[in-house]
Amino acid sequence: MNHILSSLLVFLTTLTTLTAQNFTISGSVTDKTQPIIGANILISETKQGAITNNEGVFVLENVASGAYIIKVSFLGYLSKEIPITVTNSNVTLDNIVLQEDYLQIEQVVVTATRNEILRRDAPIICNLVTDKIFDATQSVVLSEGLNFQPALRIENNCQSCGFSGLRMNGLEGAYSQILVDGRPIFSSLQGVYGLEQIPANMIERVEVVRSGGSALYGSSAVAGTVNIITKEPTQNSAYLSANQALINGSAPDQTYMLGTNLVADDLKTGVSINGFSRNRKQWDLNNDGFSEMPKLKATSLSVKAFYKPAKLSKITFTGFSIYEFRRGGNKFYLPFHETDITEATTHNILNGGITYEQYTKNKNHKFSAYLNYQTLNRDSYYGAAQDINAYGNSNDKSLVSGLQYSGKMGYFAGGLHTVIAGFEYNYNNLQDNAPSYNRFINQTVEQFGFYLQNVWEINNKLNILLGTRLDQHNLIGKPIISPRANILYKITPDVQFRVGYARGFRAPQVFDEDLHITIVNGEGAIIRNANNLTPEYSNAFSTSVDFNKYLSNWSVGFTLDAFYTQLHHVFILEQQGITANNDLLLVRNNGTGATVAGITINPKLQFKDHLSMQFGFTLQKSVYNEPVQWSETATNTNNAFFRTPNQYGFYILSYKITPSLTLNLSGVYTGSMIAQHYAGYIEKDTLKNTPSFFENNCKIDFAPQLNSKLGINIYAGIQNITNAYQKDFDIGINRDAGYIYGPGKPRTYFAGMSISL
């Protein structure tokens, strides 16, 4: 009897132990050849998660017996779901191989909804510029890479200093909101040369949302937003690269990049540090002694670090320092005021920010707070005819702070609701002094914004986004409400249809183009706002069809989208005589209105990892209700936007000839446009119909396969092979430096090398 009782006790004890016991799930994640560090492992039923270590290995502990779905995901790869059953023993999974997401449909983006969401599930299309695009096109700074996006175009606005701007959906730069890590810290003063001051090695990716983002980001997001996501560390690494280019085979352009990423073994802390240096000599096309491309010296240092004080919280620190000196004109060996023409600036930019994020236990709710501050000091000289008074200086201070909540509110009214709500405060003080032109600006802009948005997932096919933002802008008397609505309908798992509407506005403030002085006929061209200038408003409509399909060896994508934007009280520039100092005076007034409409196609094709191709082409029309009388002597009967081609596009093609040798081809097409040409070198003001251009680039990469963690890449190529470049620049001191159009550089040879660890 005692024997039976003892056996029963042992049995019950063993049964209790097995019932209460928890087990582990372990495995490894690779991309066919390399372990993936930092991949996310999630048990869908319990939300328990883990991250792969430096060997690509993960362990999920304290897992009870049962049936589960394990979801494995990592940035740039297709996620994978694996069903498993835990039955009274530990589970070891076979090596999990993730496939690269060539079409970027599972890329996590934040700009479309101001919250993390898969790109394929975003109710508004979000396009990406990644390091692959920067590398394939040999783009060393942000402005060069943005050329290779649908409906985006970088235009050159000054023959002397190289002032450039972004056109999105045919609208000039002031209609687009530039964000850095989601913060609108990119000021008007920085916008003058800022797109060329952000180096490619500082950027993790760029998210582009077109056709209205005002409901989320406030003023000046009429055409869309460009969000620069800076590099965040994911694994220990280091790199060094050097590039030598020769503009037209003569003017050297040297760039150097280096950086390191350090991540603790427990993945609770990490830091990314990236440095950049550039030295470019001025270049003169027609041997008249005056530059067509300015001299440039630049250095930058960026830092991004994180600390996770707890499993569900994260603190991120960001910062960068940028120095840039540029000079265009003539007689570079003399002081500025002893030359015939000089446009020169020296920038010192210092930026710093902190973000705190906190999730609830079930990760259904997230709270974040952020603060970012930037100071920009600029010394300038915009002058001609040995003007000793043409020196100026600018000081720009910007601050952005905010609170945001995002959370899943559960199922009701037929679907799952994700709400995003927040408050944002923007402050900018600009002091600009140009004594020679009697320009003294002291402008303070304050904007309080409250936003609320709901993403309503009715089922696996239909997502509806409804949102609005309320802004109080100190340069506009009354509060401004900017609504936004977007619908995503998944016709099939591979075909998505989107339609959207957004209302936006621009305040009557100083814009980037106002802070640059173009030299025309030996005098300056000054822009001022009319005393009675009122805000500009917009109504933007968009629709698109997006097809993406993964086959056994092929990946195929195709996007067709259309946009239509109405501008009310549109800002226009009109000539209104000359100033007391004999400078050309351009005044910004309100026009009656304008309309911008067009379509864009963007096909993509990938075969294994051997061949990839994509191109984009935009056909559009941008017109004012009435022709803008830009000149007092030349009557204008054409109501088209200036400097805005009706057709433009790009292509990128990469072919892996061998495992170590890759051929990259790329190009940018710029259609004909109308451009103002002021008198000076020419006899009278003229509106010019420009020719079209098709610039083509070629780059060959050689990356030998080494049996170590050391990576080497040697490359060489030619940009603008056929030298598609403007031929009718003005010559001499009386030139119109603003009469410039087409590609940003002539035929340029380059070669370089990079080493990574």
pLDDT tens profile 129-159: 999 999 999 999 999 999 999 999 999 999 9
Q: Is the pLDDT of residue 3 over 60?
A: no
pLDDT in tens, 12-28: 444 444 444 688 889 99
Quickly tell me which residue has 């991004």 as its tokens.
304
The average pLDDT across 367-386 equals 96
User: Which of 206, 211, 215, 161 has the alpha carbon at shortest distance from 186?
Assistant: 206
Kindly state the tokens that stand for 213. Answer: 């983002």
What CATH architecture applies to the domain 19-97? Sandwich (2.60)
Helix (H), strand (E) at residue 377 = strand 365-384
pLDDT of residue 214: 55
Cα separations in angstroms, 71 against 48, 85, 96, 272, 427: 11, 14, 11, 28, 43
Cα separations in angstroms, 463 against 122, 131, 141, 428: 8, 30, 36, 37
CA-CA distance, 278 to 347, in Å (whole number)?
A: 14
CA-CA distance, 205 to 22, in Å (whole number)?
A: 41
pLDDT of residue 18: 46
Q: Is the pLDDT of residue 1 over 60?
A: no
User: Under DSSP, is residue 53 helix (H, G, I), strand (E, B) or coil?
Assistant: coil
Concatenating the DSSP letter of every residue in 538-580 gives EEEEEEEEEEEEE-SSEEEEEEEEEEEEEEES-EEEEEEEE-T
Quickly tell me which residue has 């328990």 as its tokens.
48
Length of the chain in terms of residues written: 757
Cβ atoms of 65 and 86 closer than 8 Å: yes
pLDDT in tens, 528-551: 999 999 999 999 999 999 999 999
The average pLDDT across 25-50 equals 84
pLDDT in tens, 494-538: 999 999 999 999 999 999 999 999 999 989 999 999 999 999 999
Q: Is the pLDDT of residue 559 over 70?
A: yes
User: Which of 525, 531, 537, 528 has the alpha carbon at shortest distance from 510?
Assistant: 528
User: Under DSSP, is residue 450 helix (H, G, I), strand (E, B) or coil?
Assistant: strand
pLDDT of residue 63: 87
Cα separations in angstroms, 508 against 398, 527, 536: 18, 13, 8
pLDDT of residue 2: 53
Residue boundaries of the structural domains of the chain: 19-97, 108-756
CA-CA distance, 213 to 113, in Å (whole number)?
A: 9
Q: Is the pLDDT of residue 363 over 80?
A: yes
pLDDT of residue 219: 76
Least confident of 76-85, 460-469, 644-653: 76-85
pLDDT in tens, 270-299: 999 999 999 999 999 999 999 999 999 999
CA angle 209-693-714, nearest 5°? 75
Beta-carbon contacts of residue 363 (< 8 Å; ≥ 6 apart): 47, 312
Dihedral angle computed from the Cα positions of residues 509, 515, 518 and 522, in that order, rounded to the nearest 10 degrees: 110
pLDDT band at 709 (very low <50, low <70, confident <90, very high): confident
Residue 438 zone, left/alpha/beta (φ > 0; ψ -120 to 50; rest): left
**CATH class of domain segment(s) 108-756:** mainly beta
Q: Is the pLDDT of residue 637 over 80?
A: yes
| Domains 19-97 and 108-756 fall in the same CATH topology | no
Q: 743: which DSSP letter?
A: -
Looking only at Cα atoms, what is the longest distance across the chain?
A: 121
Cα separations in angstroms, 551 against 101, 582, 652: 12, 66, 21
Q: What is the separation of C-alpha 127 from the centre of its chain, rounded to a whole number of angstroms?
A: 9
pLDDT of residue 10: 47
Cβ atoms of 625 and 639 closer than 8 Å: yes
Task: Decide the pairing of beta strands 91-92 and 23-30.
Answer: parallel
Cβ atoms of 636 and 148 closer than 8 Å: no
pLDDT of residue 13: 47
Least confident of 6-20, 73-87, 426-440, 477-491: 6-20
Strand partners, 500: 486, 542
CA-CA distance, 651 to 667, in Å (whole number)?
A: 5
CA-CA distance, 665 to 322, in Å (whole number)?
A: 31
CA-CA distance, 349 to 320, in Å (whole number)?
A: 8
Task: Decide the pairing of beta strands 523-529 and 584-590.
Answer: parallel
> Mean of the per-residue pLDDT values for the chain?
91
